Chain A
Amino acid sequence: MGADMSFDLGLILSYLPRILEGLGVTLMLWVIGSALGLAVGFAVAVGRRYGPAPLGWLLRGIVEVIRGTPFLVQVFLLYYGGPFIGLRLENIPAGILALAIYAAAYYSELWRAGFDAIPKGHLEAADCVGFTEWQTLRRIILPEMTVLVLPSMVNMTILILKETAILSIISLPELTLSVSAIGTQHYAFVESFTVLALLYWALVEICGALGRRAEARLSKYRFAT
């Protein structure tokens, strides 16, 4: 590193309010995107399991297309291509929508795996004690599934957090954009991206730790296999 380019993380950190603002947007995107994704993903999984066959094929096709293409291309398609089919969105709603669709596709696969993993015997047992179908879903399937799919859901949700960074490419003022803007302003690229990496790393590690704690707490409900 040249003598004139001292490595100064303090410079970046002096912009703390701007960083926190960006962090706030990132967290907002993440929470809304993954919450929508979880809900829609669940609906997709239910549709594929209980819906008529053509609906199942359609949903499967959509899920495979989303899982088989880069998130960035999806974002571009929605944000730049959308207006050509009358879908004119600002970058924040476009970002959230893209994130939610992307997340829904992946979550639906996890929900589906959860449905498949519940032993048939448990459902038959519920039938025998006279549960209605709705009761079976609410009292048996959902709780069991939550325990089963939690670890992969936590992983997926962390993945979504990292994907929000991609939304900086459509100038969405989240963490990556805010911090790299500070870097550009001072011509301190290495510093800004180092701070950025450390921030994401800390966030991901914290979420991972919380997820593991939740798993540990729920693991006593795990049924014997």
Chain B
Amino acid sequence: MSWKLFWLLVEAARLTVLLSAGAIAIGFLIACLVCAGMLSHNRVARGAGRLFVSFFRGTPLLVQLLLIYYLLPSIGLDVPSEVAAITGMALCTAAYQAEIMRGGLGAVPSGLLEAAEMTGMSAAQTFRRIRLPIAFKLTLPALVSEAIMMLKSSSLVSVVGVIELTRMAQDLAASTYRPLELYAAAGLIYLVINIVVALLGTGLEARLRWGRI
């Protein structure tokens, strides 16, 4: 396979990274809301949060993407397919991230929170200064896995016409008739990206050197 073809794949991989990073970031914000809903005392908010998580974890991302791709125009939102793609990815990862957050917040030992209460910290201070940072440390590995999952899942947006890495490989395979090399190369690029993300995750974990809880 020529360098020119490989370079086209690398260029397309930039969109893959961009889409995934965008979806993870937007998904994180949505996940915060959903998690707050799930932990809220309000029954409606709790039910809505759980329903959201159940639906987006209970259906294939491919189906979600197709549904959103056709749903947005049908409610009068004519958006580029990139936007539909990032919306679908963000909603899906939000559900997973919300569940991770809920688990992490719940896993903070209650004694640490009682100790904070005894020093007179308010509920908000306890949450911000004690519960959140510890939950973050606890969930970091799961969040990194989720980011890698999302990078891989981004290949599915090729079906709604976004020319990211997988779609580029597909198009080039069709025109050059060399699917073996092109898909192998695409796989290799995904692998490298994911290894980098995993290494960043381990590096970040190592920097939170405060050890076991």
A–B touching in complex (CB under 8 Å): yes
Closest to A165 in B: B60
Known: A65-B191, A176-B60. A1 touches B74 (CB 8 A): yes
Considering the complex, which residues of chain A in the window 65-92 have a beta carbon less than 8 Å from any beta carbon of chain B?
A: 65, 68-74, 76-77, 80-81, 84-85
Binding stretch for chain B, among A39-47, A117-125, A196-204: A196-204
0/1 interface trace, chain A 1-45, chain B, CB 8 Å (1 if under): 110010000000000000000000000000000000000000000
Q: Could you tell me if A73 and B186 are in contact, using CB atoms closer than 8 angstroms?
A: yes
Considering the complex, which residues of chain A in the window 152-177 have a beta carbon less than 8 Å from any beta carbon of chain B?
A: 162-163, 165-166, 168-169, 176
Binding stretch for chain A, among B102-110, B117-125, B130-138, B150-158: B150-158
0/1 interface trace, chain B 181-206, chain A, CB 8 Å (1 if under): 00110110011001100000000000
Known: A70-B190, A189-B70. A77 touches B59 (CB 8 A): no
Q: Main secondary structure on chain B at its contact with chain A?
A: helix
List chain A residues, Cβ under 8 A from B54.
Answer: 201, 205
Tell me whether A108 is interfacial, beta carbon within 8 Å: no
Q: Could you tell me if A190 and B74 are in contact, using CB atoms closer than 8 angstroms?
A: yes
Q: Could you tell me if B153 and A70 are in contact, using CB atoms closer than 8 angstroms?
A: yes
For A197, give its contact among B63, B153, B156 (CB under 8 Å): B63
List chain B residues, Cβ under 8 A from A80.
Answer: 173, 179-180, 183
Q: Could you tell me if A197 and B64 are in contact, using CB atoms closer than 8 angstroms?
A: yes
For B60, give its contact among A65, A81, A85, A163 (CB under 8 Å): A163
List chain A residues, Cβ under 8 A from B153.
Answer: 70
A168 to B63, CA, bound (A): 11
List chain A residues, Cβ under 8 A from B59.
Answer: 162, 197, 200-201, 204
List chain A residues, Cβ under 8 A from B169.
Answer: 73, 76
Q: Could you tell me if A68 and B194 are in contact, using CB atoms closer than 8 angstroms?
A: yes
Q: Could you tell me if B166 and A77 are in contact, using CB atoms closer than 8 angstroms?
A: no
Tell me whether B71 is interfacial, beta carbon within 8 Å: yes
| Nearest Cβ on chain B to A222's Cβ, whole angstroms | 19
A70 to B195, CA, bound (A): 13
Considering the complex, which residues of chain B in the window 125-168 have a beta carbon less than 8 Å from any beta carbon of chain A?
A: 148, 152-156, 158-159, 166
Tell me whether A194 is interfacial, beta carbon within 8 Å: yes
List chain B residues, Cβ under 8 A from A76.
Answer: 166, 169-170, 173, 179, 183
Tell me whether A131 is interfacial, beta carbon within 8 Å: no
A178 to B114, CA, bound (A): 55
A71 to B156, CA, bound (A): 9
| Nearest Cβ on chain B to A223's Cβ, whole angstroms | 22
List chain A residues, Cβ under 8 A from B180.
Answer: 77, 80-81, 84-85
| Nearest Cβ on chain B to A80's Cβ, whole angstroms | 4
For B70, give its contact among A65, A74, A190 (CB under 8 Å): A190
Known: A70-B166, A176-B60. A65 touches B75 (CB 8 A): no
Tell me whether B62 is interfacial, beta carbon within 8 Å: yes
Known: A162-B60, A163-B60, A194-B67. A77 touches B179 (CB 8 A): yes
Tell me whether B111 is interfacial, beta carbon within 8 Å: no
Tell me whether B211 is interfacial, beta carbon within 8 Å: no
A85 to B55, CA, bound (A): 41
List chain A residues, Cβ under 8 A from B62.
Answer: 165-166, 168-169, 176
Q: Could you tell me if B63 and A68 are in contact, using CB atoms closer than 8 angstroms?
A: no
Considering the complex, which residues of chain B in the window 28-71 have a beta carbon less than 8 Å from any beta carbon of chain A?
A: 54-55, 57-64, 66-67, 70-71
- 23 A-B residue contacts at CB 8 Å? A68-B148, A69-B194, A70-B156, A72-B166, A73-B186, A74-B187, A76-B169, A76-B183, A77-B179, A77-B184, A77-B187, A81-B180, A81-B184, A84-B180, A163-B60, A166-B60, A180-B66, A190-B71, A197-B55, A197-B63, A197-B64, A200-B58, A208-B58
Q: Which residues of B contact A (CB under 8 A)?
A: 54-55, 57-64, 66-67, 70-71, 74-75, 148, 152-156, 158-159, 166, 169-170, 173, 179-180, 183-184, 186-187, 190-191, 194-195
